Amino acid sequence: MKQTPLYQAHLEANGKMVDFGGWEMPLNYGSQIEEHHQVRNDAGMFDVSHMTTVDFKGAEAKKFLQILIANDVDKLKTQGRALYSCMLNETGGVVDDLIVYYQDDENYRMVINAGTTEKDIAWINLQAEDFDVIVEPKLDLAMIAVQGPNARAKVFEAMPGVEDVAGELKPFNAASLGELFVARTGYTGEDGFEIMLPEKSAEFTWKMLLEAGVRPCGLGARDTLRLEAGMSLYGSEMNENTSPLEAALTWTVDLNNEDRHFVGRGALEALRNDGVKKTIVGLVLNGKGVIRDHQKVVTSIGDGEVTSGTFSPTMGKAIALASVPMGTTGSCEIEMRNKLVSAKIVKPPFVRNGKVLV
């Protein structure tokens, strides 16, 4: 199995290591619920070095990204600005979801999922054949996400010089400091940074953050936090057979520029004209139990399926994202351990910045 540069640090912190798509990663360091609260209330850090950074360089970098992904990088005008997008196949299904950062029209940086990296790189290279662009996976970078209301202050305390370049950063923007790349982004619904850095600096930086009071958090808490924040997980809410229009990600698809023929556009337009049949909604369980992935959802206009289910530590209730027939509102029932249990249908996010919103 593959290990990140922080593998030893995880063992020292009693990380419970599990196989996560071929990577040996910490599920938790004792209690995933305590780690969850740590991020909502103070500051926690996640090793996300298994994710992959890809740089795009060349005269046609912008033109290439405009056909590669469904959102339009033309929106990015200032250095460090970030954009969330899906990368589609010809049938409008999602190859991966990603964040792309703007440096200038000839330089972009992209972060893609760990489990999809090989597939993504092959796909990107195939699409890039006719463009003047160099696709450069940066496999020697580590990545640490520091998240929580006190995350930024603790990063400034732990990492000299970062406040000078990142102190004024607005959400969804990034800045560089030498080999460091600091982005005010995340996957928890809290403020904070995602920091890319050379492998050799990872362990030292992790220790400095520990000393500043940032607590290590595992993949378990990462999942409950992102689910409370209503954020999609590739492979759960969307996949190669589900388009963004069917996954409540229409806001990430930019059809404004009619001359921008991005991959999958034709399929999306055809789907839109035929009528989109399903979408993703949030569910809050009435009563006890925990909603689990793939449980059947029964609504008045047809059946659906739980795409991500969990227990929300912030709300003290079971919550889920579920794929249901378009137009489902009000309430539904979930088939849990051979019983039908009622649930309320809500619009995610469930929790943002420590506050319950549903």
Partner 1 sequence: MSEVRDDRQYTETHEWILDNGDGTYTMGVTDHAQELLGDMVFVELPSEGDEASVEDEFCVVESVKAASGVYAPVDLEVVEANEVLDDEPELVNSSCYDAGWLVKFKSDPIDGLMDASTYSETLD
Binding site residues, partner 1, CB under 8 A? 27-28, 31-33, 220, 224, 288-290, 292, 310-311, 337
The Cβ of residue 74 has, within 10 Å, a number of other Cβ atoms equal to 15
Q: 141 or 221: whose CB is closer to partner 1?
A: 221
* Rounded Cα distance, 229 and 142, in Å: 25
Which is closer to partner 1, CB of 220 or CB of 349? 220
Task: State how far the Cα of 150 lies from the Cα of 72, in Å rounded to an integer.
Answer: 33
Asked if 22 contacts 2 with a C-beta cutoff of 8 angstroms, the reply is yes
- Nearest distance from C-beta of residue 32 to partner 1, angstroms: 6
Question: In terms of CB distance, is 158 or 227 closer to partner 1?
Answer: 227
Length of the chain: 358
CB of 69 to partner 1, least distance (A): 34
What are the distances in angstroms from CA 94 to CA 113, 259, 316? Answer: 12, 21, 32
Give the separation between CA 280 and CA 269, rounded to whole angstroms: 19
Rounded to a whole number of angstroms, the minimum distance from the CB of residue 10 to partner 1 is 17
Q: Which is nearer to partner 1, 206 or 311 (CB)?
A: 311
Q: How far apart are CA 84 and CA 70, in angstroms?
A: 10
Q: With respect to partner 1, which residue has the nearer C-beta, 255 or 315?
A: 315
User: What is the spatial distance between Cα 223 and Cα 345, in angstroms, rounded to a whole number?
Assistant: 20
Question: Which residue number, 34 or 105, has a Cβ lying nearer to partner 1?
Answer: 34
CB-based contacts of 203: which residues, under 8 Å, 6+ apart?
A: 5, 6, 8, 9
Q: Considering the complex, what minimum distance in angstroms separates the CB of residue 97 from partner 1? A: 24
For residue 179, with 0-12 CB atoms within 10 Å meaning exposed, 13-18 middle and 19 or more buried, which class applies? exposed
- What is the closest distance, in whole angstroms, from the C-beta atom of residue 31 to partner 1 in the complex? 6
**The pairing of beta strand 82-88 with beta strand 355-356:** unpaired
DSSP 49-66: TTSEEEEEESTTHHHHHH
CA 258, chain centre distance (Å)? 28
Give whichever of 40 and 152 is closer to partner 1, judged by the CB atom.
40
Q: What is the DSSP letter of 349?
A: P
Q: Output the smallest distance, CB 111 to partner 1, in A.
A: 27
**Least Å from the CB of residue 22 to partner 1:** 20
Q: Print burial letters for 105-116: b (CB count within 10 Å at least 16), e (below 16).
A: beebbbbbbbbb
Evaluate whether 215 touches 43 at the Cβ level (below 8 Å): yes
Closest distance of CB 344 from partner 1, Å: 18
The residue (of 137 and 218) whose beta carbon lies closer to partner 1 is 218
